[in-house]
Amino acid sequence: MKLPEFAPIPASLPNTVPFVGPETLQRQRGQAFKARLGANENGFGPSPNAISAMREATTEIWKYGDSTSFDLLNALSGHCRVPVDSIVVGEGIDGLLGLLVRLMLAPGDAVVTSDGAYPTFNFHVAGFGGLLHKVPYRNDAEDPDALLAKAHETGAKLIYLANPDNPMGSWLEGHRIEHLVDQLPQGTLLILDEAYVEFAPATARPRIAADDPRVIRMRTFSKAYGLAGARIGYAIGHPELVSGFERIRNHFGVNRLAQIGALAALQDQEWLQMTCDKVSQARVKIAQIGKANGLVALPSATNFVTLDTGRDGAFARALIPALEAEGVFVRMPGVAPLDRCIRISCAPDAELAVLEAVLPSALKHV
């Protein structure tokens, strides 16, 4: 019997995933990693209050979550100082990106991003038939002028920009984002991915009104709040744009424990500050480990450090499996010239000690 045909757009796409997860790699190698330093997770963990709240709520897991995320929405409104109707909660930034692309793009619509930037966004654009246009990084950072020029050239419906940036860890000052917004073509929406904003200097946060129709800002509980496994994030935008998500979102997609854990985490800002301090210390340690092995740490405003190998992409690609063989999971940028680097997630001292111990041996085997 013949399988029914896929729809035209997915039928035209390859079977790919944006990232190979560490669990898959562990199964392939037949043992667990000693140091999990590749997925930009928060190894320092979530607030104990969040853990306690989720544990207590497990007895009610038979209930669907609140389809409106009412308690979390109102807490976010107060925390971010924006109206409730300017916020939408979703299954992490990845889920929100997929919904936004579905909401805004028709097949053939132009989209602008940076070559080497977060690939999950590109995955969504391809899946809904958008036409991607890419610009290169400039000095290992996003280039807002190039993004803007390409948007004017192509009539782009969307521009994607992460600040701070993944995979390089670089950041733009807020005034540069503000200038970009002021120069956007008519009808272009800027997607400002702020997954790492809690780690960034205050000057990296642009002054953009929540109801500015030209921008949607996306944030997550996966990084600084340590809830990556809960898959929960939120977006801030114009009320009419936010209300558009109601047309297409999975109204019971954000699970009950995620809502409860995120609310408790948001309310524990003391733990958040402690985590940011630990991340800052870990960035220093990673830079020291890199320097001792001839690698140069690039400036970072995230919970990872990108180390410049001083070689080329072939060298870095060989270093990744060499580190995996030593029990250390890391990742690297995928596009030249960024791919001369490897990317190390911040983590507790014990895991960084593993990296420090095995990196010299891994480098010798490349």
pLDDT at site 34: 97
pLDDT at site 119: 94
CA distances from 336 to 115, 173, 240, 307, 312 (A): 9, 25, 39, 14, 8
Q: 158 φ, ψ to 5°? A: -135, 145
pLDDT at site 107: 97
pLDDT at site 40: 97
Between the two ends of the chain, the Cα-to-Cα distance in Å is 49
pLDDT at site 312: 97
pLDDT tens-digit series, residues 198-229? 999 999 999 999 999 999 999 999 999 999 99
Query: What's the CATH architecture for 48-268?
Result: 3-Layer(aba) Sandwich (3.40)
Mean pLDDT of 22-46: 96
pLDDT at site 17: 80
pLDDT at site 329: 98
Contacts of 364 (CB under 8 A, 6+ apart): none
Contact in structure between 50 and 342 (CB atoms under 8 Å): no
Q: Kindly tell me if the per-residue pLDDT of 16 is higher than 90.
A: no
* Claim: this prediction has a pTM higher than 0.85: yes
Please name the residue ranges forming H helices in the chain. Answer: 8-11, 22-29, 48-57, 70-80, 92-104, 119-127, 144-154, 174-182, 239-244, 256-266, 269-292, 313-325, 349-364
Contacts of 196 (CB under 8 A, 6+ apart): 162, 164, 166, 223, 224, 301, 302, 303
Q: Chain-wide mean pLDDT for the chain?
A: 97
Q: How many CB atoms lie within 10 A of CB 64?
A: 11
Structure token digits, residue 319 = 């270093």
Task: Measure the CA–CA gap between 19 and 126, rounded to whole angstroms.
Answer: 16
pLDDT tens-digit series, residues 308-360? 999 999 999 999 999 999 999 999 999 999 999 999 999 999 999 999 999 99
Confidence tier at 196 by pLDDT (50, 70, 90): very high
Looking at the domain covering 8-45+270-364, what would its CATH class be?
alpha beta
pLDDT tens-digit series, residues 140-181? 999 999 999 999 999 999 999 999 999 999 999 999 999 999
Positive or negative CA dihedral for 102, 103, 107, 112? negative
Q: How many CB atoms lie within 10 A of CB 68?
A: 14
Domain ranges of the chain: 8-45+270-364, 48-268
Confidence tier at 18 by pLDDT (50, 70, 90): confident
pLDDT at site 298: 98
Q: What is the 3-state secondary structure (H, E, C) of 19-47?
A: CCCHHHHHHHHCCCCCEECCCCCCCCCCC
Q: Kindly tell me if the per-residue pLDDT of 7 is higher than 90.
A: yes
Task: Measure the CA–CA gap between 355 and 338, rounded to whole angstroms.
Answer: 22
pLDDT at site 113: 98
Residue 190, classed as helix, strand or coil, is strand
Residue with tokens 């990317």: 343
Cis status, amide bond into 164, omega within 30 of 0: yes
pLDDT at site 30: 95
Q: Kindly tell me if the per-residue pLDDT of 19 is higher than 90.
A: no
pLDDT tens-digit series, residues 78-120? 999 999 999 999 999 999 999 999 999 999 999 999 999 999 9
pLDDT at site 344: 98
Given the DSSP bridges, would you call strands 189-193 and 110-114 parallel, antiparallel or unpaired? Answer: unpaired
Given the DSSP bridges, would you call strands 328-329 and 35-36 parallel, antiparallel or unpaired? Answer: parallel
